[in-house]
Amino acid sequence: MISRELRFAIGSLPRKPLIALVAWSVPEALPASLSGVAVQRAVDTGFLAGHALVGVAWLSGLVFAAAAGGIGSRRCCPSSRSSMADGRCRMGPVRWSFAA
């Protein structure tokens, strides 16, 4: 029952903005995915082991991942906006009903 509605909703969205949304979501998720590993490696193999440059290298990698995430966020919003607007136009006007 739910799968039928999801298939209809996904099928009504235009393909190009949907593919762009999925593609730009990957770099957007990079900082969240790598932050724990980068900080752990920077502390364990870098600063606590007496290798400050190794720790700084891990943290600079985290900075680059954050920059990629910012670019992904910036590119993700127009893709989601255009795909949702097209889908909303195809659905027609929304009729609100409130229980009295």
Cα 1 from chain centroid (whole Å): 28
Instruction: Give the confidence band of 1 by pLDDT, cuts at 50, 70, 90.
Output: low
Is residue 27 within 8 A of residue 68, CB to CB? The reply is yes
Q: Decide if 6 is inside a domain.
A: no
Write out pLDDT tens, residues 47-83.
999 999 999 999 999 999 999 888 888 877 766 666 5
Q: Decide if 99 is inside a domain.
A: no
Q: Decide if 80 is inside a domain.
A: yes
Type of residue numbered 10? I
3-class DSSP state of 93: coil
Q: Mean pLDDT in the chain?
A: 79
- Per-residue pLDDT at 92: 56
Q: Decide if 82 is inside a domain.
A: yes
Q: Decide if 94 is inside a domain.
A: no
- Per-residue pLDDT at 50: 94
Give the residue, 71 or 17, on which the prediction is more confident: 71
- Per-residue pLDDT at 76: 74
Total domains present in the chain = 1
Q: Decide if 11 is inside a domain.
A: no
- Residue 97 structure tokens: 């009903």
- Residue 54 structure tokens: 């190794």
- In the chain, the percentage of residues whose pLDDT exceeds 90 is 31
Q: Decide if 5 is inside a domain.
A: no
Is residue 40 within 8 A of residue 63, CB to CB? The reply is no
Find the domain containing 64 and state its range.
19-88
Q: Decide if 10 is inside a domain.
A: no
